[in-house]
Structure 1
Amino acid sequence: MLWIPFTLFAAFMQAWRNAFQKQLSQDLGATSVTLARFILAGPIAALYLWGLYYWQPSQPLPHFTDSHTSYVFTAYIVGAALCQIAATALMVRLFQLRNYAVGVGLAKSEAIWAAILGVAFFGTLLSPLGWMGVVIGSLAVGLLSGMRQVTGQVSPKTLLLGVASGLSFALTSLWVREASLLLELDFPFSAAWVLLLVISLQTLLLVSWLGIRDPASLTGLIKRPALTALVSLTSCLGSIGWFSAMSLESVALVKTLGQVEVLFTLLISTYYFKVTLARQDKWGLALIVIAALCVMWA
């Protein structure tokens, strides 16, 4: 049951990361804000992995018995890195098109995508109670993000970006889990290695891209060191929680419980951005609790 506290911690950190990214997106482009998520996360992930080996120095390093497994593992790492970059950039773009909570709500279609793709292509087995939790959680996210009031106002472009972001996040999570399982290391070493490799590749790709195409964006991040550091710190801490939880439990259940992030987002919107909550929020909160209970019992 360790996946439960790891998931709750990850959701809390991710809610703050999204809040800081929203602030940063007011002045910088989507690619720059996406880089802020990873630029300092690599050293933090490396320090976390070093701490694990300092705690248990007898743990082995990753190794593969055949080349095919190493190729598959590499494909998962590259795929997860690229999909997470795309998902984050799409969500930042959502922040610029719609209000904060709706942007997060659209991107949180991740849970239902993870369930569908996991069962169809990754051998995930979900009980009826697990499916119930996934569906109820998706409905709760719609209520909490205010989708009912803005359904007629949301453009097809916004809906497309939201679905694409959720699908990209789901693929990222599924490939991260598969990569962690291939390493066959004790918990939480496999998740920590995958985290370090994914973040390092993402940082390398984004720094290279911006260095060639838009050097001014790198300067923009340097001019906002405090906010950039907060985005990176909360992002890495959240990823430690997500990667650890997904190495223990199926992605669909982890991401359904992780929808409590929307609750944290609403609280941040209320007390940090001074946004007034709508009346239906109490129903959304009740559904989040029901969904969380379903996936924990599943």
Structure 2
Amino acid sequence: MELWIPITIAAAFCQNLRSALQKHLQGALGTTGASFVRFGFGFPVAIVYVLLLHVLTDRPFPLMSLPFALWAVVGGVAQIMATILLVHMFSLRNFAVGTAYSKTEPVQAAIFGFVLLGERITAGAVMAIFVGVVGVMMISVARMPLSWRNLFAALFGRTALTGIASGALFGISAVAYRSAALSLGGPDPIMQAAVTLAVVTTFQTVIMIAWMAATDLSEFGRVARAWRSSAMVGLAGVVGSACWFTAMALQQVAYVRALGQIELVFTFAVSIFFFRERITRMEATGCVLIVSGILLLLMWR
């Protein structure tokens, strides 16, 4: 098995755990605070991770450049905006469906990867991604009577557009992070990914602190009072990000993000067993299609 595959599955699991914890925190912190803890409690871990790689495995620090800085900023800002939209979306529909809308990301990541990096994917991979996105769309309309009007509302309503925008921003950030890591050069994708993660999460923390200071100082107190749960979000987020960054340094973004749709399977488990949310038959069918798309991707890529 190629290394990027288990790393991506681990990333999807950690991302699902982080999202579940963020949904739990949203009521206590609000959208901005629940988004901030992902970065603010994660960046120290990212820095320690880089130092451990350097000290324990004797990996050298890569040389940074202007292209690296530009891609890191683009990716960092896009991910902040995508995270805020995703957390906000949890208040519009249930946890599983809210996450499903953002899973249109693989198609958008494939487009951005082609436009920005010239990365091409096989016809079989395109079909596999399409199967997965059909599953996502089934989930999005599962809780309403099937009609053209409801289908239009599901695809172009507030929740859908918020989710699609979140997916687009996640797609942009993924391509930017791969570009940043590759711009560092060298034969060590693990160290390149780790340095990219540390720089980006530090930058994101500074941006979020400035934003919260300018808009709602009381949010800092709420974050401090929920520090235990916030720390768990940060830890799950930074471990997941380390896995994402490493996988995307090893493989094209479209493939990594398509396999990452397995997160939705984890999401349904959390939705059922943790949040006690009822899952319909069509949502379950959509989940099966997503898994089928993932299996086809691994066979046809």
Normalized against structure 2, the TM-score is what? 0.92
Cα-Cα RMSD: 1.6
In the other structure, the counterpart of 1:288 is 290
Amino acid paired to 1:148: A
Q: Which residue of 97, 100, 120 corresponds with 1:105?
A: 100
Whole-Å separation in 1 of the counterparts to 2:137 and 2:238: 27
Cα distance, 1:27 vs. partner? 2.7
- Whether contact under 8 Å (2:61, 2:191) holds in the other structure is no
Aligned to 2:281, the other structure's residue is in SS state: coil
Whole-Å separation in 1 of the counterparts to 2:49 and 2:68: 21
In the other structure, the counterpart of 1:147 is 141
- Whether contact under 8 Å (1:9, 1:238) holds in the other structure is yes
In the other structure, the counterpart of 2:127 is 132
User: What CA deviation, in whole Å up to 9, does each residue of 1:5-39 have, x standing for no partner?
Assistant: 11000000111111111111123222111101111
Cα distance, 1:236 vs. partner? 0.7
Cα distance, 1:283 vs. partner? 2.7
In the other structure, the counterpart of 2:198 is 196
In the other structure, the counterpart of 1:22 is 23
In the other structure, the counterpart of 2:231 is 229
Aligned to 1:149, the other structure's residue is in SS state: coil
In the other structure, the counterpart of 2:277 is 275
**1:210 to 2:204 alignment:** no
Whole-Å separation in 2 of the counterparts to 1:13 and 1:63: 29
Whole-Å separation in 2 of the counterparts to 1:110 and 1:136: 13
Aligned to 1:97, the other structure's residue is in SS state: coil
Aligned to 2:130, the other structure's residue is in SS state: helix
Map 1:111-190 → 2, pairs under 5 A: 111-143=106-138, 145-150=139-144, 151=150, 154=154, 156-185=157-186, 186-190=188-192
Amino acid paired to 2:128: G
In the other structure, the counterpart of 2:74 is 79
Name the count of aligned residue pairs: 291
Q: Percent of aligned positions with the same letter in both sequences?
A: 34
Instruction: Name the stretch that deviates more: 70-79 or 81-90.
Output: 70-79
Aligned to 2:60, the other structure's residue is in SS state: coil
Whole-Å separation in 2 of the counterparts to 1:277 and 1:157: 21
Whole-Å separation in 1 of the counterparts to 2:55 and 2:297: 34
Cα distance, 1:62 vs. partner? 1.6
Whole-Å separation in 2 of the counterparts to 1:226 and 1:99: 24
Q: Which runs of 5+ in 1 are unaligned?
A: 65-69
Amino acid paired to 1:90: L
Whole-Å separation in 2 of the counterparts to 1:264 and 1:36: 22
In the other structure, the counterpart of 1:238 is 240
Cα distance, 1:282 vs. partner? 4.2
Aligned to 1:63, the other structure's residue is in SS state: coil
Instruction: Name the stretch that deviates more: 276-285 or 163-172.
Output: 276-285
- Whether contact under 8 Å (2:106, 2:257) holds in the other structure is yes
User: What CA deviation, in whole Å up to 9, does each residue of 1:246-279 have, x standing for no partner?
Assistant: 0011111101100010000000111111122211
Map 1:27-38 → 2, pairs under 5 A: 27-38=28-39
Whole-Å separation in 2 of the counterparts to 1:25 and 1:117: 31
Instruction: Name the stretch that deviates more: 151-160 or 37-46.
Output: 151-160
Cα distance, 1:281 vs. partner? 4.1
Whole-Å separation in 2 of the counterparts to 1:226 and 1:255: 30
Whole-Å separation in 2 of the counterparts to 1:198 and 1:147: 36
- Whether contact under 8 Å (1:104, 1:262) holds in the other structure is yes
Whole-Å separation in 1 of the counterparts to 2:130 and 2:257: 12
Instruction: Name the stretch that deviates more: 108-117 or 79-88.
Output: 108-117
Whole-Å separation in 2 of the counterparts to 1:40 and 1:98: 27
- Whether contact under 8 Å (1:174, 1:251) holds in the other structure is yes
Cα distance, 1:148 vs. partner? 3.1
In the other structure, the counterpart of 2:85 is 90
Cα distance, 1:288 vs. partner? 2.5
Amino acid paired to 1:135: F
- Whether contact under 8 Å (2:105, 2:167) holds in the other structure is yes
Whole-Å separation in 1 of the counterparts to 2:49 and 2:116: 32
In the other structure, the counterpart of 1:67 is none
In the other structure, the counterpart of 2:147 is none
In the other structure, the counterpart of 1:44 is 45
- Whether contact under 8 Å (1:141, 1:259) holds in the other structure is no
Cα distance, 1:146 vs. partner? 4.5
User: What CA deviation, in whole Å up to 9, does each residue of 1:137-187 have, x standing for no partner?
Assistant: 1122233x4533345565722222111111000000000001111111302
- Whether contact under 8 Å (2:142, 2:282) holds in the other structure is no
- Whether contact under 8 Å (2:62, 2:184) holds in the other structure is yes
Instruction: Name the stretch that deviates more: 156-165 or 284-293.
Output: 284-293
